[in-house]
């Protein structure tokens, strides 16, 4: 039985690192991607390898289509296939839309949307040829409802939901499933810009009374990738503690 290969983007972040850990613990060979913080992804890979888990760090700027294609070509040359793709990499921007620069807008869109497109375009053909594979995209509850002062982020995450739905129909006949997770307020480094008081208010506004963790999202991703979800595709699963 061949070992399943999973590429997890944004593995230096809270959600991405949790997904990498969860999948490694479930027996996947995990390719932990990072860009600016490759050292964190390498540290994660070293830690998991020391525990007997097969994990390797990868580096790539997801906003660069050629760089993405090169990384994916190298992955396929080494491993011949990718069974699971978890797209956790993302950036945010807070501020009035009217104050955003073109550069700020494009940075959010290039990483959050175009990066996902580049990766799926490069790796989906292999999944189609083997007639199996599963993709989990990471959106946000703000991609479903919109957030004031986060117009670009909300728009990018709404685009991910649309991409997921379209691809589930396009790839489904070939046995490839595509699902999306829309996290709520998850206590990761992306939340560091908020004060403890703001975090407390957000926890209080969440029906389950707490902020989410990377592990909450990782367990949902692992389920959607698994055979237990073999008849689930095109769905957006809210992991938001009931916030919406």
Question: Which residues are part of the catalytic machinery?
Answer: 153
Q: How far apart are the first and last CA of the chain?
A: 41
Longest dimension (CA), the chain: 54
81: its two tokens: 């296939």
215 neighbors 22 (Cβ within 8 angstroms): yes
Euclidean distance between CA atoms 212 and 167, whole angstroms: 28
Identify the three-state secondary structure at position 223.
helix
Burial of 7 by CB count in 10 Å (0-12 exposed, 13-18 middle, 19+ buried)?
Answer: buried
The 3-state secondary structure of 94-153, one letter per residue = CCCHHHCCHHHHHHHHHHHHHHHHHHHHHHHHHHHHHCCEEEEEECCHHHHHCCCCCHHH
Which residue's entry shows tokens 């999948």? 23
Chain centre to alpha carbon of residue 171: 19
């Amino acid at each position: 039985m061949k070992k399943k290969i999973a590429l997890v983007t944004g593995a230096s972040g809270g959600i991405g690192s949790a997904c990498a850990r969860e999948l490694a613990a479930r027996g996947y060979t995990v390719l932990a991607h990072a860009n600016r913080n490759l050292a964190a992804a390498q540290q994660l890979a070293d830690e998991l390898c020391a525990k007997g888990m097969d994990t390797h760090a990868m580096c790539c700027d997801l906003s660069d289509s050629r760089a993405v294609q090169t990384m994916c070509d190298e992955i396929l040359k080494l491993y011949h296939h990718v069974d699971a793709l978890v797209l956790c990499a993302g950036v945010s921007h807070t501020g009035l839309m009217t104050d955003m620069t073109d550069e700020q807008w494009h940075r959010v869109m290039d990483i959050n949307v175009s990066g996902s497109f580049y990766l799926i375009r490069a790796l989906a053909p292999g999944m189609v040829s083997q007639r199996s594979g599963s993709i989990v995209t990471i959106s946000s509850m703000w991609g479903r409802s919109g957030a004031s002062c986060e117009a670009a982020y909300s728009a990018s995450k709404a685009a991910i939901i649309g991409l997921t739905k379209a691809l589930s129909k396009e790839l489904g006949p070939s046995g490839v499933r595509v699902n999306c997770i829309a996290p709520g307020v998850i206590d990761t480094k992306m939340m560091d810009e908020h004060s403890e008081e703001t975090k407390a208010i957000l926890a209080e506004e969440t029906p389950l009374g707490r902020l989410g963790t990377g592990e909450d999202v990782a367990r949902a991703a692992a389920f959607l990738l698994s055979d237990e979800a073999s008849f689930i595709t095109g769905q957006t699963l809210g992991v938001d503690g009931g916030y919406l």
